Amino acid sequence: MTVEEFEKFYAQTVTRLTGQLYVMLGDLHEAQDVVQEAFVRAWRHRRRLDRDGQPEAWIRTTAWRLAVSRWRSRRRTTEAWQRTTAPPDTEGPGPEAVVLVDALRTLPAQQRRTMTLHYLCDLSVEQIAGETGLSSGTVKTHLRGRAALASRLKDPRIEEEAFDV
């Protein structure tokens, strides 16, 4: 099948094939999707379609198989979701954590990583240096950045209470 013949075949049959698959599947959008996918696949096999002499049947069969494959995939996904239990309810981060994360975002990425490794992962300066490839001196310099964080982490409510007394 030449390009022109395939284009003519497509124009003459796409509506009919979509209608047939719609009746088979009961879902117009699904029928349109699988027929289009079948035509895409047929394009790659257009020379063989011409020899077989049944290109419309090939498209219809391919579209049906695509639909069945989609059904099986959806069923497996649904079954997998049904087998899993809902995760336990967990509280979101508190306001302190949100403020801390916002403050950490203002630091350069490497300094943020260093401070996280030290304060959250409880790693020593030497361990951080080994993990990051930084010198111990650079790690120590990054850890001095906590002064920059301290000003961002002050609780304005505490300052207000100090003035109210």
Distance CA 121, CA 144 (A): 17
Give the pLDDT band (50/70/90) at residue 163.
Answer: very low
Average of per-residue pLDDT across 84-109: 77
Q: What is the mean pLDDT of the chain?
A: 82
The better pLDDT of the pair 127, 159 is held by 127
Average of per-residue pLDDT across 99-114: 80
pLDDT given for residue 93 in this prediction: 77
pLDDT given for residue 86 in this prediction: 67
Whether the pLDDT of residue 104 is over 90: the answer is no
Tokens 């996280």 — which residue?
A: 116
Give the pLDDT band (50/70/90) at residue 102.
Answer: confident
CB-based contact 47:1 (threshold 8 Å): yes
3-state SS string for 100-119: HHHHHHCCCHHHHHHHHHHH
Distance CA 37, CA 24 (A): 16
Kindly report which listed range (13-27, 45-59, 121-135) carries the lowest average pLDDT score: 45-59
Helix, strand or coil for residue 1? coil
Whether the pLDDT of residue 19 is over 90: the answer is yes
Average of per-residue pLDDT across 121-125: 86
Tokens (6 digits) for 147: 């002064």
The better pLDDT of the pair 18, 151 is held by 18
Average of per-residue pLDDT across 66-84: 85
